[in-house]
Amino acid sequence: MTTFWTDRVWVDPGFSSEPSLNIHPEGQNRGSDFTLLFPLRTPIETQLEVADKVLAGVQKWRDQIAALAEQQRTAEDELAAAREEIARLKAEAEVAA
């Protein structure tokens, strides 16, 4: 199954007798969702270790996306600066002619 993320993504760190993580990519109570659960009676220290690994993985994923976004912004800024320089040089050439 394919799930498409939207700007309405909703994450519910549910915590009842058994902690869970519910992710709703299309918004609260909309479309598909997925839930992460631990088996019954999973020791709390094991739950914490798993949560730390998931958090580290998600942080790495986020950092990679942020790096790509920064590269894109930098490329766009450099292109805009180059266009401005071309326009300036054209204007100088017209004045000199």
Does one domain contain both 5 and 19?
yes
Does one domain contain both 27 and 73?
no
pLDDT, position 1: 56
Does one domain contain both 58 and 94?
yes
Give tens-digit pLDDT for 17-51.
Answer: 678 888 888 888 777 888 888 888 889 999 999 99
Q: Is the pLDDT of residue 53 over 90?
A: yes
Amino acid identity of 92?
A: E
CA distance 78 to 96: 27
**What is the tally of structural domains in the chain?**
2
User: Where on the phi/psi map is residue 54: left (φ > 0), alpha (ψ -120 to 50), or beta?
Assistant: alpha
Does one domain contain both 14 and 52?
no
In degrees to the nearest 10, what's the CA dihedral of 89, 92, 93, 97? Answer: 180
Which of 35, 16, 40 is closest to 24 using CA atoms?
A: 35
Does one domain contain both 53 and 23?
no
CA distance 7 to 54: 22
Q: Which domain holds residue 53?
A: 40-97
Does one domain contain both 44 and 64?
yes
Banded pLDDT at 3 (limits 50, 70, 90): low
Q: Is the pLDDT of residue 57 over 70?
A: yes
pLDDT, position 83: 94
Cα angle 10, 16, 19 (rounded to 5 degrees) comes to 65
Does one domain contain both 56 and 83?
yes
